[in-house]
Amino acid sequence: MPLIAAGTTVLGQQVCRPGWVDVSGPRIVDCGPGLPPRPPDVDLPDAVLVPGFVDMHVHGGGGASYSGPDIVRAAEFHRRHGTTTTLASLLTASPGDLLTSVRALAEATRAGTVAGIHLEGPWLSAQHCGAHDPRQCRDPQPAEIDALLAAGGGAIRMVTLAPERPGGDDAITRFADAGVVVAVGHTDASYEQTRHAVALGATVGTHLFNAMRPLHHREPGPVLALLQDARVTVELIADGVHVHPAVLHAVIEAAGPERVALVTDATAAAGRGDGSFRLGTLDVDVVSGVARVRGTSTIAGSTATMDQLFRTVAAEAGLGAAVQMTSTTPARALGLGEVGLLRAGLYANLVVLDRDLEVTAVMAGGQWLG
């Protein structure tokens, strides 16, 4: 039953200097600001202790993809960077390939490797498909939705779709009724269509600004509709590539950290350096850490990790806000009530950071990771 003391501990949005967390088995049994109630088992006077990161949009990392056979390797790569809760994202694919990937990730969810599945497509706008294969983008059909939900067996937690596609209204309702979080993304929806999607039950904006109709003063499109609605959590890829730092700042100011979820949108290329990779059916080249579809300027996911995003936002908005956007907000958006905070009764998912906010140790479910 380790009692961990740290020079800085973030409890909720309170930055405690010092603070402590008491762990028994897989859960936190107590925590608090100041000196611990007894001599600590682990004393980290120069460290920062934060909850494990929650990445609700990630395709892979360390050379492995969540749509391939190396699901465990991809998850372990991101755990080393502090992501203790992963929603594994699947790209647009043929109906058969998508079902196969969902079944594999449903098994990985039951094993605890990932926390569930994010279907990013295939019901996306061909005009804003990004690094998705436009030949596989299609309208949502009840039969396909039902087959995927059955194959997932409760593991599908979020779906990204373009609500303007024929059948979009029924798809939003069908997924929401099944307890699946619906996200608006890869979309050419108008402002009014996006507001309608939210009224039907959509609660997330997938990587805001990227792969959606841009904001215009006479046609505000999905961006403004998503930002204006307090029911909506907006994803941001804060890697310095997908959105300008000034835009990051403006969104945090407009929506607040409680409505912004930082996501990596990382692919198998994360952690592998520059080179050539495959993303679904497409060839991708990584140059200076930026992934693009071969022969185009289209960004193809990212090579980021959550600790990198944490450092960026901590410098911008402070430790409390960084914890909110990398842990608490995404956990709440997904309905994951047992992670995302350092609080008694929740899972003991912890990240130990040094003075430069680099990861030095990770605990998941009360176990230190090797």
Domain ranges (residues) in the chain? 3-50+343-368, 53-334
**Distance separating alpha carbons of residues 327 and 77, to the nearest angstrom:** 18
217 among annotated binding-site residues: no
Contacts of 218 (CB under 8 A, 6+ apart): none
Do 233 and 261 contact (CB within 8 A), yes or no? yes
Do 58 and 88 contact (CB within 8 A), yes or no? yes
162 among annotated binding-site residues: no
**Residue whose token pair is 């969540």:** 66
Is beta strand 14-16 parallel, antiparallel or unpaired with respect to 3-11? antiparallel
242 among annotated binding-site residues: yes
**Does this chain's domain 3-50+343-368 share its CATH topology with 53-334?**
no
**Distance separating alpha carbons of residues 293 and 312, to the nearest angstrom:** 26
| Sign (positive or negative) of CA dihedral 228, 86, 175, 336 | negative
Do 21 and 1 contact (CB within 8 A), yes or no? no
Amino acid 200: pLDDT: 98
Taking the domain 3-50+343-368, which CATH number applies? 2.30.40.10
218 among annotated binding-site residues: yes
Do 3 and 22 contact (CB within 8 A), yes or no? yes
Amino acid 238: pLDDT: 96
∠ Cα 189 230 199 (to 5°): 50
Q: Which residues of the chain fall short of a pLDDT of 70? A: none
211 among annotated binding-site residues: yes
311 among annotated binding-site residues: no
120 among annotated binding-site residues: yes
- At 293, phi and psi to the nearest 5? -60, 130
In DSSP terms, which residues pair with 347 in a beta bridge?
27
| Sign (positive or negative) of CA dihedral 314, 320, 321, 323 | positive
CATH topology of domain 53-334: TIM Barrel (3.20.20)
249 among annotated binding-site residues: no
DSSP secondary-structure letter at 147? H
Do 184 and 226 contact (CB within 8 A), yes or no? yes
Do 290 and 300 contact (CB within 8 A), yes or no? no
Amino acid 13: pLDDT: 85
Residues with a catalytic annotation lie at 265
238 among annotated binding-site residues: no
- At 239, phi and psi to the nearest 5? -100, 5
- Considering only CA atoms, which of 209, 167, 196, 185 is closest in space to residue 92? 185
**Distance separating alpha carbons of residues 289 and 83, to the nearest angstrom:** 20
131 among annotated binding-site residues: yes
Amino acid 118: pLDDT: 98
**Distance separating alpha carbons of residues 265 and 235, to the nearest angstrom:** 10
DSSP secondary-structure letter at 128? G
Do 28 and 345 contact (CB within 8 A), yes or no? yes
216 among annotated binding-site residues: no
Q: Rounded to 10 degrees, what is the CA torsion of 308, 313, 316, 322? A: -130
